[in-house]
Amino acid sequence: MAGSNIQLKAGIVIDDREAREALQRLAIEGQTAPLMRQLGEAFQESTERRFRSQTGPRSPQARG
């Protein structure tokens, strides 16, 4: 995975090094199925919530 920091307009810098390292370990160990299941469920719930509220993924109403 390529290293990256996310810099927001407000001047906040998020260092995702630990998250990237943890994901790298999961990939090496081949234990990604539980993570993929949880991510899939989260994305599905989010999509269904946006569908019901008729909002796009970037809409402030979609959060929550």
- What pLDDT band is residue 48 in, cutting at 50, 70 and 90? very high
Q: How confident is the model at residue 6 (pLDDT cuts 50, 70, 90)?
A: low
Expressed as residue numbers, the domain containing 57 is 5-62
For 30, the 3-state DSSP assignment is: coil
Percent with pLDDT over 70 in the chain: 75
| pTM recorded for the entire structure | 0.50
Query: Which amino acid, 41?
Result: E
Dist CA 23 CA 13 (whole Å): 20
SS3 label, residue 7: strand
The total number of structural domains in the chain stands at: 1
pLDDT tens-digit series, residues 13-35: 788 999 999 888 888 888 888 88
Give yes or no for a contact between 36 and 28, defined as CB atoms under 8 angstroms apart: no
